[in-house]
Amino acid sequence: MNKSFWNGKKVLITGHTGFKAGWMSVWLKAAGSRLFGVSIGRVSDPDFFTVCELPSIFEQDWRMDIRDLRSVRQVMAETKPDIVIHMAAQPIVRYGLMNPAETFAINVVGTANVLQAANETRSIRAIINVTTDKVYRNLEWVWPYRESDALGGKDPYSSSKSCADLCAQSFYQTYFKDEGVGLANVRAGNVIGGGDWAADRLLPDFFRALDAGEPLRIRNPASVRPWQHVLEPVGGYLTLAERLYEAPSVYSGEWNFGPRDVDCKPVSWMIDYLTASAPVSLAQESIANDKEARLLKLDSSKTMTELGWSCRLPVEQALDFCLDWHQAWRAGEALARTRAQIEAYDAKG
């Protein structure tokens, strides 16, 4: 991340009250960016946005639904951002199983609204559309997926993000390419980090069980996931946004941000590491769930070669960061520890 590039840049983040966007916002503010946020509201209670006192770092902080095109247009017109980072989404697989129509509406129609409003805003030079590793047609094979592999998630959430990815590709080819505006779809693996209290995610479930002294319920303990600390993809997104801004025709397209193969671990391994490090041990209760993929890995060769990006934190250190952050939050030091971990991560570059 080039701090001199970001100093003074106007950045609009959709879904800015989310966990991943929160880490990005703290990092961008430290670089001198002017921040504007759009979100439907808090994503959990507690949440990263509140405990890290982030409302104060945004020049404007809108509460709105991205399914409302008129409101999205108004925000773009008032803000006139240089860069848009689209993170607003319905991000939970199991919620999508119970609410498929809502999931498609938010993730597909919402994305189309953001891109249409962006196309009508002349100030914008670069757009990052955050999707997921689950956009790929998962064949449950051992090989990692490349950006050129077929899309097609099986469950409603994964399928909706595949559609959102294709929607962005269409907007780029139809509108942004000829206008010299960069647009990239970024696909990351399972992201972990302090301050994630979302439902039905492994680390948040672990910390909730830890704090409450209750049994930890695990879905699919044998499933292998590409785990990485939140700062890994966030740093990659920001690096890519810089390149998009300066050379849109070169860097527009699809980009994987996945961990090293050695850091793709089964859920059971993650639990063993956490319970060995936490102050108490937790009972485990397995829940069968046949709707989620068992094996999923990303090939980040393109990103490593063309962006010079790679993960800096082994999964063990990423988990240590999570444990450390949670302890700091309990001591009332969440924002200070967030800044300290960003500085420590940055120093590894």
| 118-130 CB burial, b ≥16 within 10 A, e <16 | bbebeebbbbbbb
Amino acid at 267: V
308: exposed, middle or buried (Cβ count in 10 Å: 0-12, 13-18, 19+): exposed
**pTM for this entry:** 0.94
pLDDT at position 288 is 53
What domain range is 86 assigned to? Answer: 7-285+295-347
Model confidence at 51: pLDDT above 60: yes
At 122-134, the pLDDT tens digits run: 999 999 999 999 9
What sign does the dihedral 132-210-290-89 (CA atoms) show? Answer: negative
Domain containing residue 167: CATH number: 3.40.50.720
Helices marked H in the chain — which ranges? 3-6, 19-30, 48-51, 69-79, 93-98, 100-104, 110-119, 156-171, 177-179, 202-212, 231-246, 248-251, 267-277, 301-307, 315-330, 334-347
Secondary structure in 3-state letters for 152-186: CCCCHHHHHHHHHHHHHHHHHHHHHHHHCCEEEEE
Q: Is residue 2 part of a domain?
A: no
User: What is the Rg, in whole angstroms, of the alpha carbon atoms belonging to the chain?
Assistant: 19
Dist CA 289 CA 8 (whole Å): 47
Average pLDDT over residues 260-284: 86
Structurally, the chain folds into a number of domains equal to 1
Q: Is residue 140 part of a domain?
A: yes
Amino acid at 157: Y
pLDDT at position 124 is 98
pLDDT at position 293 is 58
The string of DSSP codes covering 12-65 is EEETTTSHHHHHHHHHHHHTT-EEEEEESS-SSSS-HHHHTTGGGGEEEEEE--
Model confidence at 291: pLDDT above 70: no
pLDDT at position 139 is 87
How many CA within 13 A on the CB side of residue 320? 8
Is 246 strand, coil or helix? helix
Give φ, ψ of 83 to 5 degrees.
Answer: -135, 140
Q: Around Cβ 142, how many Cβ atoms within 10 Å? A: 8
Q: 108: which DSSP letter?
A: I
- What distances in angstroms separate CA 229 from CA 76, 177, 237, 279, 331, one per listed residue? 31, 32, 14, 22, 22
Dist CA 139 CA 160 (whole Å): 18
pLDDT at position 284 is 63
Q: Is residue 143 part of a domain?
A: yes
Scan for tokens 């590491």, then name that residue. 273
Model confidence at 294: pLDDT above 70: no
Average pLDDT over residues 28-49: 95
At 300-318, the pLDDT tens digits run: 999 999 999 999 999 999 9
pLDDT at position 1 is 80
At 92-119, the pLDDT tens digits run: 888 999 999 999 999 999 999 999 999 9
Q: Where is pLDDT greater, at 293 or 254?
A: 254
Q: Is residue 91 part of a domain?
A: yes
Q: Is residue 279 part of a domain?
A: yes
What is the percent of the chain with per-residue pLDDT over 90, rounded to a whole number?
82
Model confidence at 281: pLDDT above 80: no
Scan for tokens 């570059």, then name that residue. 349
Q: Is residue 290 part of a domain?
A: no
pLDDT at position 66 is 98
- What's the mean pLDDT when you consider all of the chain? 93
